[in-house]
Amino acid sequence: MKRRVRQSKKISKLKKHLTDYTRDKSILLAWLCAVRCLPFIEWKGTFDFWPERERQKFLMSILKAVDSIAYSTYDDDSAIADYASIDVFNAIASFEGCDDATIFLAVQTIAEAVTIAADINSYKIKDIATNVAFGFHVSFESILQHDLYSIDAGKNDFLVNTDIYQESWQNFKNALNDLDCSYWVDWYESFFANGFYLDDIAKAEIKQRLNAPHGIIARGAAAMGKYMEENRPQLDNFAGKVFLSYCHADKDLADIIDNFLQKHHSITASRDIRDVDYTKSFKAFMQTIGNHDYVIMLVSDSFLRSKACMYEAGEMISTRSLESKLLFIVVQEDDSKFYKTPPSQPIGANIYDSIKRTEYITFWENRYTHEEESIRLIKSDSAKIEPLKALRDMRKIIDQDISPFFEYLSDARGKSFSEMHEINFADIIANIKQYKTT
């Protein structure tokens, strides 16, 4: 009884929050709700609630409805969503023996969301939000609250974690693959991985699907997938170039980020193991950092004690302002679970404590003194040339790079690797793509 009362109060509070929502905000929230519900339209791994001969057509209706809502978030043409709403309600009416409440609620939510985009039932946003927050998974309530915060703040910071779907996510993909819809599997995997961010390529692809020949749409989802694979839109001027900066002690973390970035065809990632020609100067390669749009920097204790890493940081500082270039992840001790072999040394970067930051500066001063004394023991002047150059680089790190670097890191408050991993690096992807489309 108490649980029902608490939930009733939460629902009332949620509906009150949405009372004064503008049309634009309502469409954006409706779209997020529709996308989050989509994996539940066949969480068991089949589409057998539709007649076999009609599955392709009705599945296309659902997918087209989600596309039309997405299109409405950045284009004020409600006619496309209005047209899509007719098809999706036909798909619901054609359920044969679907007594699964989850599936029905998911499809119904998508159907009602498209009516908001079509400017038919704007008041439905309260019901849709309530269904999503309390009708599917316990995590959806907090996710919806985060969506509301992001929408109200005008941000594209939406939580994405396919783990909450448990086996439903894989079953949904299996059901699509069984209908020869691998294109749609790839699309939604990438879309979720992107943190629901609609870049220029995504918008162009959605528009092309909505404007595909009528015969393609009528044949269904698989036909649309084949059509898009043969006619995928290309935006040659859209390409984010990212430099991945890390200490080799944190290679396992870098590999996870690198593998993730490789899935995004609009992002090119550079890192030393792949892009350094060791017949050329490593230092010269480091100077190409300025040619990248962003630097993703894995800041760990090892990074802050590495000469090569701090040299990279120095090059970045001297090439362009930190605000326009740096996307960083501050490694914490509990990120050790992502290492293949448990680290034998501390990994956390102590940058938020002024005393700890001073300890790093002391470390570099002591290292400089030690290397300076070692060079003095070299008797050959010619043999001292390279060590002295390295010593000058270290002096630059101490005098020019460390303090401003620490100051920015401590003020900006980067997230830990675990936090970034939990949201599929959505913050990083959104920043990269927003930079390239503004």
Question: How much is the mean pLDDT over the chain?
Answer: 80
Same domain, 205 and 291: no
d(CA 386, CA 224): 62
Q: Which of 121, 92, 93, 129 is nearest to 108 (CA)?
A: 92
Q: Is the pLDDT of residue 312 over 50?
A: yes
Q: How many domains does the chain have?
A: 2
Q: Are 25 and 73 in contact (CB under 8 A)?
A: no
pLDDT band at residue 17 under the 50/70/90 scheme: confident
Q: How far apart are CA 171 and CA 110, in angstroms?
A: 19
Whether 369 is in a domain gets the answer yes
Instruction: Indicate the residue among 197, 230, 263 that finishes a domain.
Output: 230
What is the spatial distance between Cα 350 and Cα 330, in angstroms, rounded to a whole number?
9
Closest by CA position to 305, among listed 361, 387, 372, 371: 361
Say whether pLDDT at 280 is over 60. Answer: no
Please say if the pLDDT value at position 285 is more than 80: no
Classify residue 348 by its DSSP letter.
-
3-state secondary structure of 243: strand
pLDDT in tens, 203-212: 888 888 988 8
Residues 56, 133 within the same domain: yes
pLDDT of 201 reads 76
The owner of tokens 């362009």 is 320
Interstrand relation of 326-330 and 294-299 (parallel, antiparallel or unpaired):
parallel
Q: Nearest Cα to 351, choosing from 392, 395, 324, 313?
A: 313
Q: Are residues 10 and 57 located together in one domain of the fold?
A: yes
Same domain, 226 and 263: no
On whether residue 269 sits in a domain, the answer given is: yes
Give which of 235, 271, 275 is closest to 250, Cα–Cα.
Answer: 271
- Predicted pLDDT at 78: 64
Evaluate whether 296 touches 328 at the Cβ level (below 8 Å): yes
pLDDT more than 90, % of the chain: 13
Predicted confidence (pLDDT) per residue in 368-388, tens digit: 899 888 888 888 888 888 888
235 lies in a domain?
Answer: no
> What separation in angstroms does the CA of 334 have from each of 251, 337, 416?
16, 7, 9
Residues 318, 187: one domain?
no
> Given 230, 260, 294, which residue is the final one in a domain?
230
Higher model confidence: residue 179 or residue 195? Answer: 179
Q: Are residues 152 and 300 in the same domain?
A: no
Q: Which two tokens stand for residue 54?
A: 């009609």
The verdict on 226 and 244 lying in the same domain is no
Residues 202 and 328 in one domain: no
Give the closest residue to 430 by CA, choosing from 259, 243, 258, 294.
294
Instruction: Tell me which long-range contacts 229-238 makes (C-beta under 8 A, separation of at least 24).
Output: 229/183, 232/205, 233/201, 233/204, 233/205, 233/208, 235/200, 235/201, 235/204, 235/266, 238/199, 238/200, 238/201, 238/266, 238/436, 238/437
Residue 25 lies in a domain: yes
Q: What is the pLDDT of residues 73-121, one digit of tens each?
A: 887 766 676 666 777 777 777 765 667 788 888 888 888 888 888 776 6
Kindly tell me if the per-residue pLDDT of 238 is higher than 90.
Answer: no
Q: What is the pLDDT of residue 114?
A: 83
Same domain, 277 and 162: no
Residue 251: per-residue pLDDT: 92
Q: How confident is the model at residue 279 (pLDDT cuts 50, 70, 90)?
A: very low
Strands 294-299 and 240-245: parallel
CA dihedral 264, 265, 270, 272 (to 10 degrees): 80
pLDDT digits (tens, 9 = 90+) for 385-410: 888 888 888 888 888 878 888 877 77
Rounded (10°) angle between helices 385-396 and 307-319: 60
What does the pLDDT read at residue 318?
67
CB of 226 closer than 8 Å to CB of 183: yes
Contact between 168 and 40 (Cβ < 8 Å): yes
For residues 339 and 224, membership in a common domain is answered with no
pLDDT, one tens digit per residue, over 50-81 is: 888 888 998 998 898 889 888 888 877 666 76
Whole-number Å distance between alpha carbons of 162 and 265: 21
In this structure, the answer to whether residues 172 and 287 fall within a common structural domain is no
In this prediction the pTM is 0.57
Q: Give the mean pLDDT of 18-34.
A: 86
Do residues 323 and 336 lie in contact, with contact meaning Cβ atoms separated by under 8 Å?
no
The pLDDT score that the predictor gives to residue 348 is: 92
Residue 416 sits in a domain whose CATH number is 3.40.50
Query: Which domain-ending residue is among 208, 230, 252?
Result: 230
- Are 217 and 246 within one domain? no
Q: What angle do CA 90, 93, 96 make, to 5 degrees?
A: 125
Residue 169 has pLDDT above 60, yes or no: yes
Lowest average pLDDT, out of 51-60, 277-286, 359-368, goes to: 277-286
H helices present in 18-54, as ranges: 23-37
Domain that holds residue 358: 240-436
How does pLDDT run across 136-154, given as a tens digit for each residue? 777 788 888 888 888 888 8
Report the pLDDT averaged over residues 244-256. 90
Lowest mean pLDDT among 17-21, 172-176, 257-261, 408-412: 408-412
Please indicate, yes or no, if residue 226 is contained in any of the structural domains: yes
pLDDT value at position 269? 81
